[in-house]
Amino acid sequence: MRFRVQDAGEVSGIFLRPPNAECVLTLAHGAGAGMNHPFMTALAYKLANAGVATLRFQFPYMEQRRRVPDRPPVLTATIQAAVQAASKAVPDLPLLAGGKSLGGRMTSLAAAEGRSDGVRGLVFFGFPLHPPNRPGTKRAEHLREVKLPMLFLQGTRDALADLQLLRPICAELGARATLHVIEGADHSFHVLKSSGKTVEDVLEELGKNASAWTKRL
């Protein structure tokens, strides 16, 4: 499918709805790889297996094959357009929004700006709290303005999210924030062989936990 982003043209999207879908999640990609990246594709199918339909989509810069991400106003406008497209495609399903890394952060920023009408909750697959190995919390300041429930799915080896900083942020957000930690996973949700887990195991954990959380909303 395709949909239009205000002042940025059209972008592509892929809608995946399993027969047992209980909700639909807009799924935004990270900074360096688009909606067809193997992780994004595999995640969408794991979510489908757990009863979560998805609309994954391209940001304009990725659609136009540019390397540098668009400015935040364009990214949040794309999130808003994706939310509207998903709502029109499946008006019968509860609507959620989320994404991987940059996509998740921009989804939260869109919500803070009031660009997420009808969305019941946000799901972050690796929230990028700070640049790699440069701990800080500035990127989380806008989360105070988000009034929706939020699920943070984070790896213990994530170089873009020091859990010693993220845990207090989630605690400050109170009942709005749920943090699920995936032992041994990095920002890309890769795990060491010594962990005893496989990529398949991690994807399964992501899908099942996201699905279980949505059912509690």
- Model confidence over 128-149: pLDDT tens digits? 999 998 999 999 999 999 999 9
78/57 Cα distance (integer angstroms): 9
Distance of CA 64 to the CA centre of its chain: 21
24/10 Cα distance (integer angstroms): 21
* The pLDDT of residue 133: 85
Domain ranges of the chain: 2-215
For residue 76, the surrounding DSSP H or E stretch is helix 72-89
* The pLDDT of residue 195: 83
Q: Tell me the CATH number of domain 2-215, given options 3.20.20.370, 3.40.50.150, 3.60.15.10, 3.40.50.1820.
A: 3.40.50.1820
Intervals of the chain under pLDDT 50: none
